[in-house]
Amino acid sequence: MTWIAIQMLMGDRAKYLGIVAGITFAALLIAQQASIALGLLLRTTAHIQDIADADIWVMDPNVQFIDEFKPLSENALHRVRGVPGVAWAVPIYKGQGRLKLAVGQLDKKKAKYQQSVVLGLDDATLVGAPRQILLGSLADLRKPDAVIIDESGYRYLWPNEPLAVGRELEMNDHRAVVVGICKASETFQTFPIFYCRYRQALRYVPQERKAMSAILVGVEQGVSKEDVCRRIMEQTALKPLRAGDPPRPGLKALTHEQFIASTLMYFVRRTGIVINFGITVSLGFLVGCAVAGQTFYAFTLENLPQFGSLKAMGASNLRIVGMVLTQALMAGLIGYGLGVGVAALFGQIMTTSSRLAFYMPWHVLVGTGAAVGLIVVLASLVSVYKVLVLEPAAIFRG
Amino acid sequence: MSWIAWKMLTGNRAKYYAIIFGISFAVMLMSEQSAIFTGLMRNTSSTIRDISGADIWVMDPSVQFIDDITPLSDNAVYQVRGVPGVAWAVRFYDGKARAQFPEGHFKQFIVLGLDDQTLVGAPRKMLLGSLADLRRPDGVVLDESGYRYLYPGQPLQIGRVFEMNDRRAEIVGICEASPTFQTFPIVYTTYSRAVHYAAQERRSLSFVLAKTEEGVPLEEVCRRIEEQTGLMAMSPSEFAWRTIAYYLIQTGIPVNFGITVLLGFVIGAAIAGQTFYLFTIDNLKQFGALKAMGVDNRQLVGMVLLQGAVVGMLGYMIGLGLGSAFMELVTLQLRSRGLPPANFMAWPIPLGTGLAAALIVFASALISLRRVLALEPAAVFR
């Protein structure tokens, strides 16, 4: 019986391809768009992930995500160092500066400007330094005016040129020399990233009264991170304005994971990324339903006489439903495989040849599978109804 | 004959609605997404459009769009004033600053600094307070949507105080400003105050705004400024288009919206086209009977096209209406929350979606027609 169902399906080449194409298109669109959205969201936390040494990030209580810090007073550093359970605490600077290429170029039209991210690492320990240096050495960061640039930033600023150290540029009227090239995770804003010493960074970006973006904290062995966070927040809290009120928050301490979650949540809630990709994904679902569903329905309609004969020959309704489901399932499986495969191929090609954000964890595959399953079930429901109410004798009439 | 076609169409209620639904869905999605897209693009150049009075913008030659500013030396304004054909030239500051509120939270602002003496570039419409109050100490004018964002649910009111770069700022007026791409609140203040509100570099002058003398062509003055000062000069509309072109070429926004518009078209074509085809198949018998009665192919084509045109027109109008209504609702909603809406239903959008709807109808009618034309009249009686 299953065999007959498959024969029936394959027999009508055009409709068979139409159903498979509809499902493939839907699966491709759902998987690809979901992966791009996840890739983009993942990038928003790139800086936090790259700074894996820190157990805890301490910042102003109103900070919600990594791209908008409110500077802290340098005193905060010493207050955090005094909290029990804190093994070490160092400052970090993160800001945006404008760099000028073609230093010494007198023709103004040839000067090139570019926004960039400046990360200032603690002068003594360089905590937060890039993990993987492709060229040069991390120790060179101690040289005067030294900066390390990330690889994709280098390729953006000097396209088609070999990686080389020693290039000069200017930030906020101060000289910067590239002493190393490192690998950094791709960021959401895609600006080139410059690592340098904390004191150096303050010169590269125009300054306000306070400068320190956040404090990175290492926890003593055997103490839980959450405990230390709580203690930091308690100890640094400010006195209430009126007697009897609860203390005002002084500093906020988040573990590495909490800060990632907080940044992600900010982008999910405050930006249109999720809605935007959500719309395209649901459109993909609709296209799949519309094309596959309608073609499948037309296919069943045309094959009604066959189903009628089978019924007349004594096939039970259950059997017939099984046949329709087999047909739908088969088209669904093939379409799903093709769609997800093409999406993965697209991601593979795009991530190697360009800087497109693409991240396809297994959840995307499962989700797409569920969506395709739903499409298949919806598409066959309408058809099953037609077959069930069919009067076997009807086909022999007329 | 048209009457029969009409009867045939409305007789099959379910399919009739499905076709109209398909087309209106496509039209709604396409018009709404295009309106958001053109709105976003228009928002990128809001600051340029909002500034009245000046007819030339002078900037550093490396500037690609309005948010990418290379500051000029303060001398630039004197250099521009010295160019023949320039009636007047004033300084203009455009930058970002972080505002700090008494409650502890902070927010990124766009700070616009107007020439202290003339206030050239001032907002056109004040809702509360007066522009002259900008001359009071620490006076700033905040835009309405910024106010609604910062103080949600509170009546417009002047006198509120906040801090920027450790300096006091007092709201002395509330004005109307076009929605911006970056969605930050906008504060207007005098040039000399604005440079203190933002963190300072060696240079601070963002743009020089100039006016040509009467009777001198604008292009001529721009050319002279560029020759004499080495800076770049252009008219506001030229600068606005340069900004829009930058966003069009350098960002993924057009691709992103293009995909959704295309999907809308595909879905519409798929639903409407397939349903229309099924509808024609269902009615093949009728068409065959008509053929047997002596109706020629041309009349049959006319019938199918008429059916297509009816559903197309209905779907188009419903879709466009829904799309516009949706956009208006969203705009109202965003405005009340103080978020700048992106909505600009330029006339090419209804026209373009109309063409797309016509294409969908025409294509689906074509497929259906093939079956009708190839139909053997006798077949229906066998």
Instruction: Enumerate the domain spans of chain A.
Output: 2-43+272-396, 73-250
Under 8 Å between Cβ of A148 and A136? yes
Query: With an 8 Å Cβ cutoff, is B266 touching chain A?
Result: yes
Q: Which helix (H) or strand (E) holds A134?
A: strand A132-136
Whose tokens are 């590495």? That residue is A256
Share of chain B above pLDDT 90, in %: 45
What's the helix, strand, coil split of chain A in %, to 5? 55, 20, 30
Reply yes or no on whether the pLDDT at A398 is more than 60. Answer: no
Query: With an 8 Å Cβ cutoff, is B4 touching chain A?
Result: no
Distances (CA, A) of A174 to A98, A144, A228, B71, B202: 11, 11, 39, 16, 11
- Provide mean pLDDT across the span A20-49: 90
Tokens representing residue A350 in the block: 């795009």
Cβ <8 Å between B62 and A113: yes
Reply yes or no on whether the pLDDT at A337 is more than 90. Answer: yes
CA–CA separation, A191 vs A175, rounded Å?
A: 19
Tokens representing residue B91 in the block: 């300084």
Under 8 Å between Cβ of B272 and B315? yes
Higher pLDDT, A196 or B285: A196
Q: Model confidence at A178, in pLDDT bands (50, 70, 90)?
A: very high
pLDDT at residue B382, as a whole number = 62
**CB count, 10 Å around CB of A366?**
10
Query: With an 8 Å Cβ cutoff, is B262 touching chain A?
Result: no
Task: Encode pLDDT of B349-363 as tens digits.
Answer: 999 999 999 998 888
pLDDT at residue A159, as a whole number = 87
The three-state secondary structure class of B230 is coil
Phi, psi of B314 (to 5 degrees): -60, -50
Cβ <8 Å between A294 and B61: no
Q: Model confidence at B244, in pLDDT bands (50, 70, 90)?
A: very high
Under 8 Å between Cβ of A74 and A300? no
- Provide mean pLDDT across the span B314-326: 93
CA–CA separation, B174 vs B262, rounded Å?
A: 41
For A270, counting Cβ atoms within 10 Å of its Cβ (0-12 exposed, 13-18 middle, 19+ buried), the class is exposed
- Provide mean pLDDT across the span A53-69: 91
Reply yes or no on whether the pLDDT at B193 is more than 90. Answer: yes
Q: Domain residues of chain B, as ranges?
A: 2-44+252-381, 56-234
- Provide mean pLDDT across the span B328-344: 83
Range name among A46-55, A102-111, A303-312, B202-211 with the lowest pLDDT average: A102-111
Closest CA to B54 of B109, B122, B4: B122
Q: How far is B278 from chain A (nearest CA, A)?
A: 7
CA–CA separation, B24 vs B257, rounded Å?
A: 19
Q: What is the mean pLDDT of chain A?
A: 88
Task: Encode pLDDT of B54-68 as tens digits.
Answer: 999 999 988 888 988
Under 8 Å between Cβ of B207 and B59? yes
**CB count, 10 Å around CB of B355?**
11
Query: With an 8 Å Cβ cutoff, is B228 touching chain A?
Result: no
The most distant pair of C-alpha atoms in chain A lies apart, rounded to whole Å, by: 96
Q: B189-219 burial, b if ≥16 CB within 10 A, otherwise e? A: bbbebbbbbbbbbebbbbbbbbbbeeeeeee
- Which amino acid would we find at residue A33? Q
- Provide mean pLDDT across the span B304-320: 91
Q: B110: phi > 0 → left, psi -120 to 50 → alpha, else beta; which?
A: beta
Cβ <8 Å between B68 and A113: yes
pLDDT at residue A105, as a whole number = 60
What residues of A are in contact with residue B22 (Cβ under 8 Å)? 290
Task: Encode pLDDT of A138-168 as tens digits.
Answer: 999 999 999 999 998 999 898 888 999 999 9
Reply yes or no on whether the pLDDT at B380 is more than 70. Answer: no
Size of interface A-B (CB pairs under 8 A): 72
Side-chain half-sphere of B84: how many Cα atoms within 13 Å? 3
Cβ <8 Å between B274 and A298: yes
Q: How far is A176 from chain B (nearest CA, A)?
A: 17
A279 → chain B, closest CA residue:
B260
pLDDT at residue A58, as a whole number = 96
Q: A190: phi > 0 → left, psi -120 to 50 → alpha, else beta; which?
A: left
**CB count, 10 Å around CB of B178?**
18
Q: SS3 string of A14-41?
A: HHHHHHHHHHHHHHHHHHHHHHHHHHHH
Distances (CA, A) of A113 to A97, A202, B68: 10, 19, 9
CA–CA separation, A8 vs A12, rounded Å?
A: 7
**pTM assigned to the model:** 0.82
- Which amino acid would we find at residue A348? Q
What residues of B are in contact with residue A294 (Cβ under 8 Å)? 270-271, 274-275, 278
Q: Model confidence at B381, in pLDDT bands (50, 70, 90)?
A: low
Task: Encode pLDDT of A90-142 as tens digits.
Answer: 999 999 888 888 666 656 666 778 889 999 999 999 999 998 999 999 999 99
Which range has the top average pLDDT, A65-69, A270-274, B200-204, B229-233? B229-233
Closest CA to B289 of B4, B19, B12, B11: B4
pLDDT at residue B243, as a whole number = 94
Under 8 Å between Cβ of A93 and A51? no
Which range has the top average pLDDT, A394-398, B54-58, B307-311? B54-58
Cβ neighbors of A174 (< 8 A, separation 6 or more) are A145, A203, A204
**CB count, 10 Å around CB of A282?**
14
- Provide mean pLDDT across the span A209-221: 93
DSSP structural state of residue B132: G
Cβ <8 Å between A112 and B166: no
- Provide mean pLDDT across the span A256-261: 94
Query: With an 8 Å Cβ cutoff, is B98 touching chain A?
Result: yes
Q: How far is B321 from chain A (nearest CA, A)?
A: 20
- Provide mean pLDDT across the span B314-338: 89
pLDDT at residue A188, as a whole number = 84
- Strands A56-59 and A86-101, sheet pairing: unpaired
CA–CA separation, A250 vs A235, rounded Å?
A: 9
CA–CA separation, B114 vs B261, rounded Å?
A: 41
Among A23, A67, A273, A283, pick the best mutation site for testing chain B contact (most B Cβ within 10 A).
Answer: A283
Tokens representing residue B70 in the block: 């290379």
Under 8 Å between Cβ of B118 and B163? no
> Taking each helix axis from N to C terminus, what angle separates A317-353 and A2-11, rounded to the nearest 10 degrees?
60
Distances (CA, A) of B368 to B58, B362, B380: 60, 10, 17
Which range has the top average pLDDT, A371-375, B153-157, B204-208? B204-208
CA–CA separation, A215 vs A219, rounded Å?
A: 13
Query: With an 8 Å Cβ cutoff, is B256 touching chain A?
Result: yes
Distances (CA, A) of A372 to A1, A248, A368: 24, 52, 6
Side-chain half-sphere of B355: how many Cα atoms within 13 Å? 5
Under 8 Å between Cβ of B172 and B141? yes
Q: A56-79 burial, b if ≥16 CB within 10 A, otherwise e? A: bbbbbbbbbbbbebbbbeeebbeb
Whose tokens are 């029969």? That residue is B4
Alpha helices, H only, A303-316 = 304-312
Task: Encode pLDDT of B88-133 as tens digits.
Answer: 999 999 998 999 998 888 888 999 999 999 999 898 899 999 999 9
